[in-house]
């Protein structure tokens, strides 16, 4: 008699029902990349996009996913994948390798009815916009934004880029660069605007309908996760502890100012902690007991 083999797949537990429609993507080490698109977390299981492990993942409001996948063997076929940036259409069409580069951090976003916008960061090379318009002659091309190495990058639905830079030497001038969080308007040339003096390990950004200021969420090792309030400019603590990643899901145009101006309807912050899973705020509650190494969420 042969023992029965059970196959384990990560999934989201039915722990809370959020009224804001949210698209999730998550990388679970050893299991690959999964996507969930739902009007509430409900009891739906995550759909596996690939069993390849990703360095970072991002998702647009329309469900399009971008993943940075390093060279490795595919678990299901045993075939070798040489690495690259991979685009998974929200329509369910087959994935497309955008290029053969493997960014250390990336993000993708967009507005309804318009092409996605994507940003990528390469260790020791800098920050770039990535063309993800399938069928375009410039598909997969990069447009320079900054020469500095970023801890993390994010892009809002309106195309505004945020980047967290640690202190480093300017590769062009040789002068010392103090680092910090900067908003980057991806014009030609880019317009770079200081946003915060610290250098969080992880961040995410979203645009708001009721103010021209973006909402930034940031995670600092040993300190925790905090929201940079777009109405007051104050740093609002959300979670303590060191997160694996942090994201903010939003629906442009749906804002309700709450305590200290926190937009409680469209600002739904999620972060991942070892031993705890994915937490949501405000209010603070557990979304999933499974712990992704990288994930992203956006309003649909």
Whether residue 12 lies inside any domain: the answer is: no
Mean of all residue pLDDT scores within the chain: 80
Is 14 part of any domain? Answer: no
pLDDT at 262 over 60: no
> Residue 107: what pLDDT?
96
Q: By mean pLDDT, which of 127-131, 192-196, 251-255, 287-291 is the weakest? A: 251-255
pLDDT in tens, 125-140: 999 999 999 888 999 9
pLDDT value of position 249 = 67
Residue 245 resides in a domain:
yes
What number is the average pLDDT over the span 58-73? 94
* CA dist., res. 49 & res. 74, Å (int): 12
| Lowest mean pLDDT across 28-32, 96-100, 263-267 | 263-267
Whether 86 is in a domain gets the answer yes
In a domain? residue 5: no
DSSP three-state, residue 24: strand
Whether residue 192 lies inside any domain: the answer is yes
Residue 261, domain member (yes or no): yes
Q: 140-177: buried (b, 16+ CB within 10 Å) or exposed (e) per residue? A: bebeebbebbbbbbbbbbbbbbbbbbeebeeeeeeeee
Range of the domain at 155: 22-299
Name the range with the highest mean pLDDT among 7-11, 234-238, 276-280.
Answer: 234-238
Rounded Cα gap, residues 91 and 123, in angstroms: 31
Phi/psi zone of residue 138: left (φ > 0), alpha (ψ -120 to 50 degrees), beta? alpha
3-state secondary structure of 261: helix
63-92 per-residue burial string, b: 16 or more CB within 10 A, e: under 16: bbbbbbbeeeeeeeeeeebebbbbbbbbee
The CATH number of whichever domain residue 236 belongs to comes to 2.120.10.30
In the chain, how many domains are there?
1
- Model confidence band, residue 66 (pLDDT cutoffs 50, 70, 90): very high
Inside any domain, residue 47: yes
Q: Is the pLDDT assigned to residue 175 strictly greater than 50?
A: yes
Q: What is the pLDDT of residues 18-40, one digit of tens each?
A: 444 567 888 989 999 998 765 44
Overall size of the chain counted in residues: 300
pLDDT(74) > 60: yes
pTM recorded for the entire structure = 0.83
């Amino acid at each position: 008699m042969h023992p029965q083999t059970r196959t384990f797949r990560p999934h989201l537990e039915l722990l809370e029902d959020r009224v804001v429609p949210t698209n999730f993507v998550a990388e679970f080490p050893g299991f690959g990349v999964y996507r969930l698109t739902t009007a509430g977390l409900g009891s739906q299981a995550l759909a596996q996009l690939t069993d390849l492990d990703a360095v970072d993942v991002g998702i647009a409001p329309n469900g399009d996913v971008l993943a940075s996948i390093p060279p490795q063997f595919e678990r299901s076929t045993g075939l070798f994948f040489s690495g690259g940036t991979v685009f998974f259409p929200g329509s369910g069409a087959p994935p497309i390798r955008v290029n053969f580069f493997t960014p250390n951090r990336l993000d993708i976003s967009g507005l309804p009815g318009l092409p996605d916008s994507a940003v990528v960061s390469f260790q020791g090379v800098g920050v770039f916009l990535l063309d993800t318009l399938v069928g375009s002659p410039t598909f997969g091309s990069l447009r320079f934004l900054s020469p500095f190495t970023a801890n993390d990058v994010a892009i809002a639905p309106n195309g505004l880029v945020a980047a967290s830079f640690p202190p480093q030497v300017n590769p062009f001038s040789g002068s010392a660069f103090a680092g910090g969080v900067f908003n980057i308007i991806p014009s030609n040339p880019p317009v770079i605007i200081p946003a915060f003096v610290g250098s969080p390990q992880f961040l995410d950004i979203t645009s708001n309908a009721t103010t021209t200021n973006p909402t930034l969420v940031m995670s600092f090792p040993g300190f925790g996760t905090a929201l940079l309030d777009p109405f007051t400019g104050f740093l609002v603590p959300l979670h303590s502890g060191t997160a694996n990643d942090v994201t903010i899901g939003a629906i442009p145009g749906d804002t309700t100012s709450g305590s200290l101006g926190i937009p409680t309807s469209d600002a739904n912050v999620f972060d991942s902690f070892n031993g705890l899973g994915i937490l949501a705020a405000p209010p603070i509650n557990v979304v999933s007991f499974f712990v992704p190494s990288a994930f992203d969420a956006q309003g649909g």
